[in-house]
A and B are shown apart, each in its own frame.
Chain A
């Protein structure tokens, strides 16, 4: 529960032809995490399955693109599990290619129709514009004897440059209207030598000709009818296209789901990737398996393979500890807390997993800082009502709500009212100094626990020097404890104590000496660095302890906010106003203070806790699995 499961490094020697079956079996067991390091054996240099991976990548990409058009049902279970051969994958890829070609055709048609739609809109605008002009549009149409005239549109950004460019070919450009990103232009010049040149420039500038119907001036209604007919036809075309897409979706849906299954079953061999090396008919797969699953893996392989295989397992060496993935078993109760811990990092292999400690201390501290039966029950109720949206965070929200209610019971507080019943322990505002003392003691206990974990983590990594002398090591913890004891003596009996002072000084000197040895610099710089770092260790403990005063401060703050709210409520003359103020005020406390307290607790956990013992740079155990949802 407190540290990742013991792990074994395995070398699985199989026949190359069995690799797809082996990958599938390992994925079904979901307990094998590939190790992608190069093998020490020089003759195992080839990484097989390159073509298989390429086919899978292409087929997955095709399936992903196709599912933008044809929605597939969410996959819950993978049926008919079998080994996917390269031929089957190739066939699936080819079929997906055909389907994607159809989809691509639809996409291109839709794009073309969209272009057409935009062109019609531009034309409609242009014609409205021309309709209001008092000119003979006949002059702009058809072939002229002396003039070369082009009416159309260009992207707005190109107009200035185009105007100057056509001028070089003795043409004039008039822009008469802007619509969207397009500018409508008329280009006029003398017929002759530059006609071809102009066409080329216009093409390069993205010029789109707008045909002006000859009837526009005399029969505008007919032109409008024609435009509307074209729009209607386009609409129908679009509808037909969408109908076609739907019928295609219905036609291929079952096969697409089958293709998705095929890709999911092929995926383990793809994911194993460089963890397998081969030489001729022999292949070696390397990876990590939890120690307790070794036997199960061997048995499963025996059942699945007809050919012989060899499974060698060994304990990770000290050198490769950093490379061993940490297997943290899924636990429904701890899942939300584990997510928050993972935000900080993954524990190194062998290190203590802080999830359980985090869960207990987070819930306790939240309750201490936000102790109120009413508000706590509201949070619990919200968690229950919004359980579908909150998902795995339901339990988290529910537990902090219950914790707040429990401390509300101890503080005797219901929605800020402290007169409804007697506190089982203490009303925070009745003795603030006591509350601060409690918070300090809690902080000290928390830091001592953290130091113990830090020392343990160093020891299991065989790093005795740091376990003793690091800023969270044994000597630092002794310094902290002797200082606390001395200060307590000073407070209670008026003297620090010679033995305690000697222990303090000795610890300080040891830490200073260690820093001196550890620092590589010139003597002067070495002294300075050692002094500052030793001093920092001392001040770090003091400031971290004082940080926990916020636990008490927020419990007092909660009461103070409630008092402010009651004062505001009393200022309201009408009952209605009082009710509204009370409800809104409580909502404000619930949302704002609740959020601030949650952030403060998280801060205490991360900065006062995790940063002292938890490196968070471990590797997560990600086993080969079937149906990981990568495909499609």
Chain B
């Protein structure tokens, strides 16, 4: 497909698909719908057959939702080629990295084969690690040696350190996330000039969110030093760059961190009582910024990426609703799990098709 035609096609596609994003009202309706209705509405009826156990149901629902996301990704990938295609494919690698984390953690804690296997996402071949080979490793050292021979050598090094020096595994998570976002940035830098700026803005927003979440956790939950916290962050965000991050890691209280944030982030975080509350507010702000990219960006690949980010948020929320209903949790608990406001649908939502 010629470049302008592909751009137009992809923008149209992304706009049409954006209608699938959940509005606040839709989410409220879904919250009050029965599990059966949800299953019918999202073609998940098959997984409810034979009354599976909650664990099996969770797993099947999660797989089905990721499968949905992958199908939509395949549609968006079709007209793309080169660097733009690589960016979308790299975005989906986050699921594979979840698998990698689960594999390393499982082996670190000597979990049985079946348990690790059941924690892994079922992903398409293009982003799939050689699971069977890695799963069949007999211990953590063998797994690490296998990873050292792969493209994940830097992650294997970090994991070896965690294993040999009995460190906390969050440095491993941080190393994996860092390598993922730095990979994303590298791909964005190789994008065409028309795509590069809007993509940098969108990816920068995602990195800001990630950085801020990690910063709050490192400093106030794990009580890491400012220097170590800074080392584990990614200084290439949209608003949170080197100098700002250095200032932020040196602050001793959550309120002080919020005060020192740039205007947009500060206004959404103001009043946050604890890191968990702050994370929820941050997710709202990220969704707002991502929606802007989806609606106004001149770059088709940016719109596609923005759609995928929002859609993933929605599907996670749907998954939380299904899980909550399957486990017969109370409504307030389900609301928390699904990142929904306590009651009123008028409050802002992290996503919502009606706003796009």
Query: Which residues from chain A sit less than 8 Å from chain B, CB to CB?
Result: 57-58, 61-62, 97, 100-101, 104, 107-108, 111, 155, 157, 161-162, 164-169, 194, 197-198, 200-201, 203-206
Contact = CB atoms under 8 A, between A and B. Distances in A.
Given A104-B141, A204-B171, A164 B228 contact: no
Interface in B98-153: 132-133, 136, 138-139, 141-142, 145, 148
Determine chain B's interface SS by DSSP, over half rule.
Answer: helix
B304 to A, nearest CB: 30
A176 to B, nearest CB: 21
Given A104-B141, A107-B145, A168-B250, 5 more contacts: A107-B142, A155-B154, A164-B246, A168-B249, A206-B157
B136 A61 contact: yes
A146 B232 CA distance: 28
Interface in B177-215: none
Contacts of A61: 132-133, 136
Interface residues on B, range: 20 to 34
B131 to A, nearest CB: 12
Contacts of A168: 226-227, 230, 246, 249-250
B242 interface: yes
Given A58-B136, A61-B136, A206-B157, A169 B227 contact: yes
Contact of B161 (A62, A111, A167, A203): A203
Given A58-B136, A104-B142, A164-B246, A201 B227 contact: yes
B154 A111 contact: no
Given A97-B138, A100-B138, A161 B145 contact: no
Contacts of A62: 138
Contacts of A161: 230-231, 235
A104 B231 contact: no
A532 B286 CA distance: 52
A-B pairs with the 4 shortest C-beta distances?
A165-B231, A197-B225, A169-B227, A168-B227
Given A104-B139, A157-B154, A165-B231, A201 B225 contact: yes
Given A197-B227, A204-B232, A108 B141 contact: yes
Contacts of A200: 224-225, 228
A95 to B, nearest CB: 14
27 contacts: A62-B138, A101-B138, A104-B138, A107-B142, A107-B145, A111-B148, A157-B154, A161-B230, A164-B230, A164-B235, A164-B242, A165-B228, A165-B231, A168-B246, A169-B225, A194-B225, A198-B227, A200-B225, A201-B227, A201-B228, A203-B161, A203-B165, A204-B161, A204-B167, A205-B231, A206-B157, A206-B161
B158 interface: yes
Interface string B64-81: 000000000000000000
Nearest to B174: A204
A198 B157 CA distance: 19
B115 to A, nearest CB: 14
A111 B148 CA distance: 10
A413 to B, nearest CB: 48
Nearest to A162: B231
Nearest to B230: A165
